[in-house]
Structure 1
């Protein structure tokens, strides 16, 4: 029996113009932290600056956005990733097979140059709707400053703005104002809406 999963496939942006070893080390640390926390099942980094991770079907897009935001929050201003989420099946007989993997790889190969985020499912009607909506989410994420990205990243895995303020040693009012400016609530509502469609 095939199991439903999400596959997140991506490659680092500008990896040839920065300290690639440092860049990949941060990516590896980020993915390892997500795996240890149970957010992703497993991951691999390949071809130097490409990566793939497997997660629950309702977590793929959330994690893709989280990875992008986490990279943007680091000290290098140009760090980001082009990421494709594939939703579908995984064959019970082995990893790396099934429609989720095909959807993810195909979506990344066909990702427009000016877009860093895409999602593909087994349903073409759903894909048409999502492809019209995702550029808006991509645009919001791409515009985050480093400071905004750090606060949004932290907020995505904690329950309240006060917890973010404590974790980052900032005033709660600063956290709240930054999240509003960064459109955090809109990002989360968008992710919820896409999950309903898919």
Structure 2
């Protein structure tokens, strides 16, 4: 089983792509060095393949990265299933994970995070939780999103080390992290 995340940037026309797109590409390249496992297309849409175990963490990292820009947000669907045909580019690949990701993305209405798997019971259990997580994440301000991005990206670092990495005071970072989960 694999996970495929399909997403698009909300408000992408409000912010010059030269501001956010290089950051997204850098993150994808660092996290998924195999360029055949991710693609940005149509200017503000993307698809990537990852492990089932990393999918939610990766989706939240992407959300936090994009939310560091006040006018932007992102909506994403995580599809879980089997990999089938592997194309030269991820958008040419197929399998139930790809179909589930696309179907889940089409189901996104008033929420920004959705999961679709071959198991309806699993989906009905997790999607209400993802709706709540998405609702909380939708409220993140840029400073909070930045703090959470680095916390998610470097989970083993102590807060003092994260604060140093961000050039912020430890108490400022601590407050931002607390705001992110309220």
What TM-score results when the alignment is normalised by the length of structure 1?
A: 0.81
Map Cα deviations across residues 127-174 of structure 1 (whole Å, 9 max, x no partner).
111222211100111111101111111111222212211101222222
Aligned: 1:153 with 2:149: yes
Residue among 56, 71, 76 paired with 1:78: 71
Aligned to 1:140: 136
Q: Equivalences for 1:12-27 in 2 at 5 Å?
A: 12-27=9-24
Are residues 177 and 16 of structure 1, via their aligned partners in 2, closer, same or farther at CA, if it must alter by over 3 Å?
closer
1:33 is displaced (CA, Å) by 2.5
Secondary structure at the aligned position of 1:156 is classed as helix
1:22 is displaced (CA, Å) by 3.9
Secondary structure at the aligned position of 2:11 is classed as coil
1:50 is displaced (CA, Å) by 0.9
Aligned: 1:128 with 2:124: yes
- Equivalent-residue separation in structure 1 for 2:45 and 2:12 (angstroms): 10
Does the CA-based 8 Å contact 2:61-2:153 persist in structure 1? no
C-alpha RMSD over aligned residues: 2.0
Q: Which runs of 5+ in 1 are unaligned?
A: 187-198
Q: Equivalences for 1:166-181 in 2 at 5 Å?
A: 166-181=164-179
Map Cα deviations across residues 12-62 of structure 1 (whole Å, 9 max, x no partner).
1112333245443332233222223x8x97201112221101111111111
Q: 50-59 vs 95-104, which deviates more?
A: 95-104
- Equivalent-residue separation in structure 1 for 2:54 and 2:159 (angstroms): 22
Aligned to 2:55: 60
- Equivalent-residue separation in structure 2 for 1:68 and 1:53 (angstroms): 14
Q: 172-181 vs 148-157, which deviates more?
A: 172-181
Does the CA-based 8 Å contact 1:70-1:153 persist in structure 2? yes
- Equivalent-residue separation in structure 2 for 1:161 and 1:137 (angstroms): 22
Aligned to 1:108: 105
Are residues 163 and 7 of structure 1, via their aligned partners in 2, closer, same or farther at CA, if it must alter by over 3 Å?
same
Residue among 81, 84, 101 paired with 1:88: 81
Q: Which runs of 5+ in 2 are unaligned?
A: 88-92
1:180 is displaced (CA, Å) by 1.6
Secondary structure at the aligned position of 2:118 is classed as coil
